[in-house]
Every structure is written in structure tokens, then in C-alpha cells.
């Protein structure tokens, strides 16, 4: 039996960190748009045309792409971790449960600053992921894909019976949120996370989509398919073309459904299939740039911030809490987005500087120490 140790830096697959960096960019843009909408919910119908264009464009390219990609990457990382621990001869279930408990505690702290915290979901679904540990790679993939394909049927069924949303809980959230004091803002965040998010559109549909993505991530690791895409340009090009075709087709279908009031979504809601296809296309595009050796500087920047995803995610939320939720500046949407970009670019440079001197991001280091029960060397 060998000592449990984290994955060595030279064993990390660069494209995983690059994709994490891209997902983190998607998350900060969409989260800051969400906070803008919270701050202007009373004036929603008075939003200027430029803001509407910015919001719609961001939604098409980035909406629901960050968290779904992170779910796949979390599933991939969980599978790597379990394999690593299993190879050391230690009980992987006990270690993994402890690791998820610590992640859940970090998520609770993060909720102080942002009620839409996503870490809760990865921690809680991580426990469910253990149930599939002994399944074959093929079974995990089939189950994950089946969940992603069948959940839209359930979404339509619940939607037809008006069970997806709880307007009363939304109103209760805004009642707290509109009180401009620190205590009520924190209460509003916890209310959103532990009350408003219990609506079925989130607690059932959203979590099923996340679970499907997690399982796909596990299958990607076990099958080495991600590595295959990086070594087989012909396969990658085919993957890119197919995902682009599906993305455009589903987007146009959704457009015509809304324009002509077609009833397809009453039977099979294509919202998540469309979002997931676009996420697969953009992710495949990033892999293509990486394999082709183009925009190396940009990808190295994404890789640096991706290595510190947990730390950077929490910092983004702390800044947004102080600047946007507590202070509530009277800014247009474009200034929220400019701020998001400035914060992200700053985090890129800070991450690159930090990783030259230290082995891990602060939260990544703390999570490792708590999970493994010993202190790792932070400074290089």
C-alpha cells in the first residue's frame, strides 16, 4: 500500500485546465449578467436594445455552457482521482466521501457571497457518482447519455403541469435582496441556495442534466476518448462539424418554435439539448486550436487560470458580492460585462504569477490538505 498523493503536475492533461479556464470565463459572464438582472428586475422591460443584444449574445455563446462543461470536467477529474486512490491500495470510497464533504463546506462559505453557487451540486452529485464506480465505461456512457436525452421529456411534462417554477419563492428572495444591508444580502443568498433552488426546474431537471454530464466526464476518462481526439485530427474535425450542425439546427428549431408558437416543447423541451450541443461545439473548437498549435498564448492563459478554478471562482463571487450586490452601482449591462472581463484577465495574470511561486491555488491547496489529512508544501 503506497501513500495517497494528489495527481502530480506533470501528469495533468493541459487541455483539461484549458477547458476549465474557458468554463470559468463563461461562468463569470453569465453570473454577472444574472446579478445585473437581480439589480434591475423591476426595470426588466425597460432594458435598452444594446443591453438586450449583449445579453442574448452572451446567452447563446455562454449560457449554461460553463456549468455543464465544468460538470463534465468534474466527472473526468473524479474518475482520475478514484483511479489514483484505488491504485495506491487505500479505500477510495472513504477518501472520496471525505473530499466531497469538504467541498460542500467550501460551497456553504461561497454561498455567503453568491446564492447561485454551483459547488453544492458537484459535491452532492459526487456522492451519487460513487454508485456508478463499478459500472463499465460503456454502461456509464449509455446511462449518462440516456439521462441527457430523456430529461427534456420530464421537463416538458412538469412544465405542462406548471410544476417547474415557484414565483412565490422568487418574490421572497427579492424581498430580502432589495433590503440594502449586509445581513439581508447574505440571507437572500442562503434563501436562494436552500429555498428558491428547491423548485423542480432546478432540483430535478438541472441536477439530472448535471448528473448526465458528470457521467459523460467519467466515460471520457475511462475510454481515453479525450486523448484520442487530441491525436486524431480527422476524428476531431468530424466531431466539430457534427456538433456545429446540431447546434445550428437546434438553435434554428428553437427560434421557429418561439416565432410560430409550435408545440414541440410541450412534448420534448429542446432547451438543454441546444445548450449542450453548443457547449460541445465550443469545447471541440478549443481542443482543435490546442491540437493545431494556434493561439498558444491565449490557451496558456486559460490553462493558468484553469489550474486555480476553485480559488478564482470564489474570488469572482466575493468581488461581485461587494461591488454589485452590496454597493449596487447604477451601471448598464455593458459595464457589468467589462468588469467581468477585467476581473478575469486580472486573474489570468495573477494565476500565472502565483503558479510560478506556488504549487497550488490557495483553495486547491486547502482542499487537498483537508482531503488527504496532511499538509502539502504550498511554496515551490
Q: Is the pLDDT of residue 171 over 60?
A: yes
Cell representation of residue 307: 489550474
Mean of the pLDDT values across residues 332-347?
Answer: 97
Q: How far is CA 257 from CA 176, 266, 268, in A?
A: 36, 11, 12
- Confidence class for position 170, pLDDT limits 50, 70, 90: confident
- Statement: residue 197 has pLDDT above 80: yes
| Per-residue burial over 212-245, b = 16 or more CB atoms within 10 Å of its CB, e = otherwise | bbbbbbbbbbbeebbeebbeeeeebeebbeebbe
Q: What is the pLDDT of residue 1?
A: 47
Could you tell me the pLDDT band of residue 46, with boundaries at 50, 70 and 90?
low
The answer, yes or no, to whether residue 349 has pLDDT greater than 70, is yes
pLDDT at 287 over 50: yes
Rounded to an integer, the average pLDDT of 161-176 is 85
pLDDT 10s digits, 61-115: 999 999 999 999 999 999 998 888 776 555 678 888 999 999 999 999 999 999 9
Please say if the pLDDT value at position 47 is more than 80: no
Task: Work out the average pLDDT over 350-360.
Answer: 97
> Above 70 in pLDDT, residue 192?
yes
For residues 176-186, average pLDDT:
92
**What integer is the mean pLDDT of 337-351?**
98
**Least confident interval from 40-54, 66-80, 289-303:** 40-54
Residue 81 or 313, more confident: 313
Read off the pLDDT of residues 140-156 as tens digits, 9 standing for 90 and up.
999 999 999 999 999 99
| Structural domain spans, the chain | 9-351
Report pLDDT for 92.
75
Phi, psi of 379 (to 5 degrees): -85, 140
Contacts of 79 (CB under 8 A, 6+ apart): 217, 218, 221, 222
What's the rounded mean pLDDT across residues 227-239? 93
Distance CA 364, CA 119 (A): 13
Q: What is the mean pLDDT of residues 18-41?
A: 96
Q: What is the pLDDT of residue 354?
A: 98
Model confidence at 325, in pLDDT bands (50, 70, 90)?
A: very high
Amino acid at each position: 500500500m503506497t501513500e495517497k498523493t494528489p495527481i502530480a503536475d506533470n501528469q495533468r492533461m493541459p487541455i483539461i485546465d484549458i477547458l476549465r479556464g474557458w468554463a470559468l470565463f463563461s461562468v463569470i459572464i453569465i453570473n454577472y449578467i444574472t446579478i445585473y438582472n437581480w439589480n434591475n428586475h423591476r426595470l426588466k422591460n425597460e432594458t435598452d436594445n444594446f443591453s438586450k443584444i449583449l445579453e442574448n449574445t452572451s446567452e447563446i455563446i455562454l449560457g449554461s455552457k460553463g456549468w455543464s462543461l465544468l460538470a463534465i470536467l468534474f466527472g473526468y477529474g473524479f474518475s482520475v482521482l478514484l483511479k489514483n486512490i484505488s491504485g495506491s491500495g487505500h479505500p477510495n470510497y472513504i477518501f472520496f466521501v471525505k473530499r466531497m464533504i469538504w467541498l460542500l463546506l467550501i460551497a456553504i462559505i461561497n454561498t455567503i457571497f453568491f446564492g447561485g453557487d454551483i459547488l453544492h451540486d458537484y459535491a452532492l452529485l459526487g456522492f451519487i457518482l460513487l454508485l456508478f464506480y463499478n459500472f463499465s465505461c460503456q454502461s456509464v456512457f449509455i446511462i449518462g447519455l440516456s439521462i441527457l436525452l430523456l430529461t427534456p421529456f420530464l421537463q416538458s411534462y412538469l412544465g405542462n403541469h406548471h410544476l417547474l417554477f415557484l414565483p412565490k419563492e422568487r418574490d421572497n428572495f427579492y424581498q430580502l435582496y432589495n433590503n440594502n444591508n449586509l445581513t439581508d444580502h447574505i440571507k437572500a443568498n442562503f434563501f436562494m441556495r436552500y429555498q428558491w433552488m428547491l423548485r423542480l426546474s432546478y432540483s430535478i431537471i438541472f441536477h439530472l442534466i448535471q448528473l448526465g454530464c458528470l457521467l459523460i466526464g467519467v466515460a471520457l476518462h475511462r475510454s481515453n476518448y479525450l486523448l484520442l481526439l487530441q491525436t486524431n485530427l480527422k476524428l476531431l474535425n468530424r466531431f466539430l462539424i457534427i456538433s456545429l450542425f446540431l447546434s445550428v439546427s437546434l438553435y434554428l428549431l428553437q427560434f421557429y418554435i418561439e416565432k410560430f408558437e409550435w408545440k414541440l416543447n410541450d412534448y420534448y423541451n429542446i432547451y438543454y439539448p441546444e445548450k449542450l450541443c453548443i457547449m460541445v461545439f465550443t469545447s471541440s473548437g478549443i481542443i482543435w486550436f490546442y491540437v493545431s498549435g494556434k493561439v498558444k498564448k491565449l490557451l496558456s492563459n486559460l490553462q493558468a487560470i484553469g489550474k486555480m478554478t476553485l480559488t478564482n471562482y470564489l474570488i469572482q463571487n466575493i468581488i461581485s458580492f461587494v461591488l454589485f450586490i452590496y454597493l449596487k452601482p447604477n451601471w448598464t449591462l455593458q459595464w457589468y460585462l467589462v468588469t467581468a472581463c477585467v476581473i478575469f484577465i486580472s486573474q489570468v495574470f495573477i494565476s500565472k504569477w502565483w503558479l510560478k511561486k506556488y504549487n497550488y491555488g490557495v483553495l486547491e491547496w486547502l482542499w487537498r490538505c483537508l482531503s488527504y489529512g496532511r499538509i502539502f508544501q504550498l511554496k515551490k
